[in-house]
Amino acid sequence: MPHLIARTTALVALCLTNVLSQTQQHDADSPNYALFLRKVANLQAGPILLNGQDTGIAQPSIQQAMGLTDREVEILRALAVAYIKKVDAIDEALSPIIFEARIRSIDLADPDASRIRQLLSDIDLHRGQLVQEFLDELRVQIGGPRFEVVQVYIRSRKDGNFFSPTGKLDPRVFALKR
């Protein structure tokens, strides 16, 4: 009987590990992670100006928004920039092919329509794999517990609004000048 309980416990643990692994994979394939990496790569912290005047609103830094250290942000930003360069290069090279494939996939009479839809699906899958690669590298470089902080932050902002400006608008900036 104890032997059966031990075997059952081991089987449940193995299944749970497999489910958690698949969950992380699906999360990493999410377009939300790709959007996050793009926002990190392009983020410019500091005051938000309108016609050269301070609006009273500031774009928070990654450190302020997420509570990461300077070194962790440096790693995150470097990986995000590398990811964006790689994705943009792939997108640029594939742009004409993707456009043609999308047009042809709409045409149900096209005998290659299903193969073309599969090609588009494969391209999306490859993008998801790229996100996973960069997230795996981030996990290795900053460590599991700190990586979890990043994941929690991303998951908490499903709307893609990762770095909301803070502050109070200065109404004088918007006053009409005559």
d(CA 53, CA 60): 18
pTM above threshold 0.75: no
Three-state secondary structure along 81-143?
Answer: HHHHHHHHHHHHHHHHHHHHHHHHHHCCCCCCHHHHHHHHHHHHHHHHHHHHHHHHHHHHHHC
Q: How confident is the model at residue 159 (pLDDT cuts 50, 70, 90)?
A: confident
Q: Where are the domains of the chain?
A: 2-174
Q: How far is CA 79 from CA 28, 43, 55, 133, in A?
A: 15, 14, 31, 10
Q: Which residue has the higher pLDDT, 110 or 155?
A: 155
Sign of CA dihedral 70, 76, 79, 83: negative
DSSP-derived letter for residue 163 is: S
Q: How confident is the model at residue 22 (pLDDT cuts 50, 70, 90)?
A: very low
pLDDT, position 20: 40
Yes or no: say if 60 and 73 are a contact pair by the CB < 8 Å rule: no
Amino acid present at 33: Y
- Tokens, residue 89: 């290069």
